[in-house]
Amino acid sequence: MLPLPPKPSSLYRRWLPVLGVFVLALLLAAPSAGSGPVASLSRLSVPSPEPPQEQANEPSVPHLTDSVQLLPVRVEWPGYGAYTVPGLYSTRRVTHDVDLGRTVAMELAIAEPMLAQNSVGSSTTAPRIALTFDDGPSATYTPQLLDIFAQNSARCTFFVLGGLVSKHKQLIQRMEEEGHEVAIHSWWHANYTGLSDGAIASDLARCQRTLDPLVNRPVRWMRPPYGAVNSRVRNAITSAGYRVAMWTIDPRDWQNPGASAVVSRILKQAKNGSIVVMHDGGGNRAGTVAAMRILLPRLRERGFQIVTMSELHGLSEPPPAENGMILTIADERYRIEADFQDVRVMVDGNPVELAEPPVMVRDQFLVPARPVLRALGTDADWNPQELSVSFDGVRGRFTVKLNSLDVSLDDQELFVQVPSIYYHGTAMLPVWLMANACGATVQFDPATRTIEYTGRVQTDVRSRQAEGLMTLRTLDGVLVCDWMQGLCARPRSRGSSGPRTI
**Whole-number pLDDT of residue 415:** 85
Sheet holding 487-489, edge to edge: 381-383, 388-393, 396-401, 407-409, 412-416, 487-489
Using left for φ > 0, alpha for ψ between -120 and 50, and beta otherwise, residue 377 falls in left
Domain boundary among 74, 95, 116: 116
Q: Which helix (H) or strand (E) holds 439?
A: none
Q: Between 99 and 433, where is the model more confident?
A: 433
pLDDT score of 456? 60
Determine whether 134 is an active site residue.
yes
pLDDT confidence bin for 318, thresholds 50/70/90: confident
Task: With a cut of 90, say whether residue 296 has pLDDT above it.
Answer: yes
Side-chain-side CA neighbours of 327 within 13 Å: the count stands at 28
Q: What is the distance between the alpha carbons of residues 500 and 502, in angstroms, rounded to a whole number?
A: 6
Give the contacts of 370 (CB within 8 A, at least 6 positions apart): 380, 382, 389, 427
Q: How many angstroms separate the CA atoms of 277 and 132, rounded?
A: 5
Domain presence at residue 13: no
Q: Is residue 285 part of a domain?
A: yes
DSSP-derived secondary structure for 242-262: -EE---SB---GGG---HHHH
Q: Which residues of 258-291 are buried (b: 16+ CB within 10 A; e: fewer)?
A: ebebbbbbbbeebeeebbbbbbbbeeebebbbbb
Contact 434, 373 (CB under 8 A): yes
| Same structural domain, 138 and 192 | yes
d(CA 92, CA 90) in angstroms, rounded, equals: 7
Q: How far apart are CA 401 and CA 168, in angstroms?
A: 33
Burial environment of residue 47 by CB neighbours within 10 A (0 to 12, 13 to 18, 19 or more): exposed
Residue 190's SS3 state is coil
Reported as a pLDDT band with limits 50, 70 and 90, residue 76 is: confident
3-class secondary structure, 104? strand
Q: How many C-beta atoms lie closer than 10 Å to residue 109's C-beta?
A: 25
C-alpha to C-alpha distance for 174 and 70, rounded to whole angstroms: 15
| Catalytic status, residue 424 | no
Q: pLDDT confidence of 319, banded at 50, 70, 90?
A: confident
Q: What is the pLDDT of residue 173?
A: 93
Which long-range contacts link 284-290 to residues 24+ away (Cβ below 8 Å)?
Answer: 284/256, 285/138, 285/140, 285/141, 285/253, 286/141, 287/253, 287/256, 287/257, 287/258, 287/259, 287/262, 288/133, 288/141, 288/145, 288/253, 288/259, 288/262, 289/141, 289/144, 289/145, 289/148, 290/259
- In this predicted model, what pLDDT tens digit does every residue of 320-353 receive, in sequence order? 788 899 999 988 999 999 989 899 999 999 999 9
Of 30-34, 83-87, 384-388, highest mean pLDDT: 384-388
Q: Mean of the per-residue pLDDT values for the chain?
A: 81
Mean pLDDT of the 474-497 span: 36
Evaluate whether residue 18 is within a structural domain.
Answer: no
**3 belongs to a structural domain:** no
Catalytic residue among 168, 180, 185, 279: 279
From 277, 295, 312, give the residue that closes a domain: 312
Helix H or strand E encompassing 91:
strand 81-97
In this structure, are 235 and 153 located in the same domain?
A: yes
**pLDDT grade for 96, boundaries at 50, 70 and 90:** confident
- Distance (Å) of CA 175 to CA 45, 241, 371: 84, 22, 29
Long-range contacts of 237-243 (CB under 8 A, 24+ apart): 237/192, 237/200, 237/204, 239/197, 239/201, 240/200, 240/201, 240/204, 240/205, 242/184, 242/204
Q: Is residue 333 part of a domain?
A: no
- Claim to verify: residue 374 and residue 457 sit in the same structural domain: yes
Are residues 147 and 276 both part of a single domain? yes
In the set 66, 134, 147, 203, the catalytic residue is 134
> Distance between CA atoms of 228 and 244, rounded to whole angstroms?
11
d(CA 391, CA 376): 11
Considering only residues 442 and 43, tell me which one the structure prediction assigns the higher pLDDT.
442
**Domain co-membership, 231 together with 366:** no
> Are 190 and 272 found together in one domain?
yes
Find out whether 455 and 441 touch, Cβ atoms under 8 Å.
no
Q: Is residue 434 part of a domain?
A: yes
Is residue 147 domain-shared with residue 72, that is, in the same domain? no
CA distance 215 to 401: 36
State the DSSP code for 420.
B
Number of independent structural domains in the chain: 3
By CB atoms closer than 10 A (0-12, 13-18, 19+), residue 236 is buried
Burial class (CB in 10 A: 0-12, 13-18, 19+), 347: buried
Q: Is the pLDDT of residue 54 over 80?
A: no
Q: Give the domain CATH number at 198.
A: 3.20.20.370
Average pLDDT over residues 450-464: 62
Q: Quick one: pLDDT at residue 20?
A: 55
**Region 438-446 average pLDDT:** 93
In this predicted structure, what is the pLDDT of residue 55?
52
> What's the chain's Rg over C-alpha atoms?
38
In a domain, 238, yes or no: yes
Final residue in a domain of this structure, among 85, 116, 147? 116
**Same domain, yes or no: 162 and 257:** yes
77-79-84 Cα angle (round to 5): 35
Q: Identify whether 321 is part of a domain.
A: no
Does 270 share its domain with 385?
A: no
Looking at the structure, do residues 158 and 283 belong to the same domain, yes or no?
Answer: yes
Confidence of residue 17 (pLDDT cuts 50, 70, 90): low
At 480, which CATH number? 3.30.457.10
DSSP class of residue 459?
Answer: S
Confidence band of 495 (pLDDT split at 50, 70, 90): very low
Asked if residue 431 and residue 467 are part of one domain, the reply reads yes
Which DSSP string corresponds to 347-415? ETTEEE--SS--EEETTEEEEEHHHHHHHTT--PEEETTTTEEEEEETTEEEEEEBTB--EEETTEEEE
Task: Check residue 367 and give its pLDDT.
Answer: 97
Tens-place pLDDT, residues 459-470? 443 333 333 333
Boundaries of domain holding 107: 64-116
The percentage of the chain sitting over the pLDDT mark of 70, rounded to a whole number, equals 76
Residue 36 has pLDDT above 80, yes or no: no
- Asked if residue 144 and residue 75 are part of one domain, the reply reads no
